[in-house]
Amino acid sequence: MVGQNRRVDLKDADTAIRQARADIDFLSVLPAQAAQAVLKTYHRAWRNCWDGRVKKPVFKSRIRSTMSVDVPQGRNLNVVRVHRRWGMVNVPKVGRVRFRWTRDLPVGKYANAENRITGARLVKDALGWHIAFRVQALESAPGSHRGAEVGIDVGVTIPLALSDGNHQDHGRLTKTESGKADRDKWLDSKEKAKLLRLERQAAQRKQHCEPGQSVSRRLHHTYDQIRGLRARATRRHQDWQHKTTTALAQQYAIVVVEQLTITNMTRSAKGTVAEPGRNVAQKAGLNRAISQEAWGQTVTMLAYKLAQRGGTLVKVPAPGTSQRCSECGFTTPGSRMSQATFVCKKTGCGFTANADWNAARNVLHLYRIGLVAVPAAGRAVVRRVRRVKPATAR
């Protein structure tokens, strides 16, 4: 047995799981690879914790986590394209399964030692099961990107505000137009009405539930329908995110973004009992808008898409970008009059602009004067680097 203070390595765990597979029936039924894949993920979680990158791994939430099964090897998947839109794949323990062909995969004559499928993952969301293939592909190294540099601010009135005015909109209601952050803006009016009806139905059925009793089948069904609509909205959002970030990565060589700590902002709104947050309602609206735009995801996408094309993503420290005048450089806490418009307080300047656009210009300015955030050991450290270009007026 393993001593109490020794960290278990993968080999010990592997021996333990082999023993468990011999002893426990339901484990022996499971394919050996699947058990090992789970073990590997679990071990990686602990590794990350020991190295100080993340907190201790915890149990998955039954409600919030998505169900996924890993197929660690691509050898037996036997992927075949049967139709322009459909493919077939071998799923262990399930058999031959048809799936929707949405992307080019290296199969048949396109598969070779360099370009091949190395594994897959089955993921379940409210709309059903999906399969994602891990693919190894040989790509030519990107040449130098000839695009311009741009600052981007995650906007409240504009989803993505760009410093050169090439704002990225998704045509959905934003905060100022609808009066409040619209949680379900990715649904059309018919779907929204349906969602509202379902939510009322669920609330009504919940009232009839006896405490301690299990949820009725009808209520379960209603919950599933609500989840389905939400999943559809999420999918539409992700589609927009992917298309927008690809377009941006193609157009610009250097993209500068704010180093936002979204979790902190979301937490600070309500405050604690001892120290209640100020402007709770207002902040909550902003938080919701920010969380919904899923800024973190957008940044991640931009980072890898830019890298593929020879571009760079740069993060700059956030404070003050919304309060600085991008025309004259004057910073005052009162400058941001509302969420929508920026008005410069300096006499003789009088610069008025969309607040998001003003912030985006400031983000680019921070990069141009060489103030960039360098991530170090999980924490952002601000470091001044060599001047990239002489600072311009904005």
**Of 17, 253, 349, 382, the one binding Zn ion by CB under 5 A:** 349
Least distance in Å: CB of 354 to Zn ion?
15
The answer to whether 388 contacts Zn ion (rule: CB under 5 A) is no
Assess contact for 148 and 137: CB atoms under 8 A: no
User: What beta strand segments (E) does 140-183 contain?
Assistant: 148-154, 160-162
How crowded is residue 152: how many other Cβ atoms within 10 Å of its Cβ? Answer: 28
Size of the residue set binding Zn ion (CB under 5 A): 8
Judged by beta carbon, residue 19 or residue 332, the one nearer Zn ion is: 332
The interface region with Zn ion, picked from 60-68, 125-133, 341-349, 379-387 by CB under 5 A, is 341-349
Nearer to Zn ion, 245 or 362 (CB): 362
- Residue of 327, 339, 358, 372 interacting with Zn ion (CB under 5 A): 327
Backbone phi and psi for residue 36, each to the nearest 5 degrees, phi listed first: -70, -35
Q: Which of 150, 181, 306, 344 binds Zn ion (CB under 5 A)?
A: 344
Shortest spacing between CB 361 and Zn ion, in angstroms:
12
Q: Which helix (H) or strand (E) holds 88?
A: strand 86-91
Length of the chain equals 394
Smallest distance from Zn ion to CB 260, Å: 24
| Rounded Cα distance, 176 and 173, in Å | 8
Binding segment for Zn ion (CB under 5 A), chosen from 212-220, 282-290, 293-301, 322-330, is 322-330
Give the nearer residue to Zn ion in terms of CB position, either 287 or 322: 322
* Among 123, 351, 369, 388, interactor with Zn ion by CB under 5 A: 351
- Per the listing, tokens 């999420």 go with 234
Contact 123, 68 (CB under 8 A): yes
CA-CA-CA-CA torsion sign (202, 207, 211, 215): negative
Q: Say which residue the tokens 């990350």 belong to.
A: 48
Interface ranges with Zn ion (CB under 5 A): 325, 327-328, 330, 344, 346, 349, 351
